[in-house]
Amino acid sequence: MGYLSSHLCLSDVYFFMISGLYSEEVLQGLQARDRAVFARVYEHFYPLLFATARKYLGEREQAEEVVQDVFLRLWEKDFALEHAAALKSYLFRAVINQCINHLQRNRLLETHHNTIRYLQEESYLCTFLEEQELRERIHYAVERLPEQCRRIFKLSRYKGLRNAEIAHELQLSVKTVENQMTIALRQLKAALLDPPEKPISAADRLKLLLWLVSV
């Protein structure tokens, strides 16, 4: 896997991620303590894992520390994963467990008792991981909205402001805010829930190419 060690720009890293992140090579790279593989796996999963930890831990720094701890353990200890595809749920569970440790250490166990009980249920974890992935996709889709539309949508759904408050803050008419919110909803649904129209994605092309080269 020669392209692993060479210089890559960010978009290359992204291609690498979607094309080969779940491959055995990545797993071997992690087991061989390959710094570059660690960096890329970390960068790829960071948003998902951070947002998960952040949901349970009050501070940003704590949430980041939890993710760091999980990866440092991966670096320091041997781990056995049966299949590369299990990597994501392995990391996700490790972050959840680490959050539980954190909450217990901070003697917040009682207040978080219900949360923790849910977190140890298998079925809840599966749903939660799926939800988190949807939220991550929503985040990226929101970032791709036109500027004004994005700002209005964030104020409404991230900050919980009412249309009239948003209109006042941005010096716009309420009508404009409503229109932009409608545009945002329509675009988000089209981007996230409608079936893709592209017959073959760039990532698939790359995969195909790599396969052809290897054959």
Residues that bind other proteins (CB under 8 A): 7-8, 10, 35-36, 38-39, 42-44, 46-47, 50-51, 54-55, 60, 64, 67-68, 71-72, 75-76, 131, 134-136, 138-140, 142, 153-154, 157-158, 160, 162-163, 174-175, 178-179, 181-182, 185-186, 188-189, 192-193
Q: Which residues neighbour 16 within 8 Å (Cβ) at sequence distance 6 or greater?
A: 3, 4, 8, 40
In degrees, to the nearest 5, what angle opens at C-alpha 211 toward C-alphas 210 and 215?
115
**Nearer CB in complex with other proteins: 77/83:** 77
**Nearer CB in complex with other proteins: 90/204:** 90
| CB neighbourhood size of 65 (10 A) | 16
Q: Least distance from C-beta 143 to other proteins, angstroms?
A: 9
Q: Least distance from C-beta 10 to other proteins, angstroms?
A: 8
**Nearer CB in complex with other proteins: 5/205:** 5
Q: Least distance from C-beta 50 to other proteins, angstroms?
A: 4
Q: What's the Cα-to-Cα distance from 125 to each of 160, 181, 212, rounded to whole Å?
A: 27, 32, 38
Q: Least distance from C-beta 133 to other proteins, angstroms?
A: 10
Phi and psi of 143, rounded to 5°?
A: -65, -25
**Nearer CB in complex with other proteins: 193/213:** 193
- Name the CA radius of gyration of the chain, rounded: 21
CA atoms within 13 A on the CB side of 40: 29
Q: Least distance from C-beta 212 to other proteins, angstroms?
A: 27
Strands (E), the chain: none
**Nearer CB in complex with other proteins: 117/189:** 189
**Nearer CB in complex with other proteins: 36/209:** 36
Q: What's the Cα-to-Cα distance from 24 to each of 11, 89, 193, 210, rounded to whole Å?
A: 22, 16, 30, 15
Q: Least distance from C-beta 215 to other proteins, angstroms?
A: 29
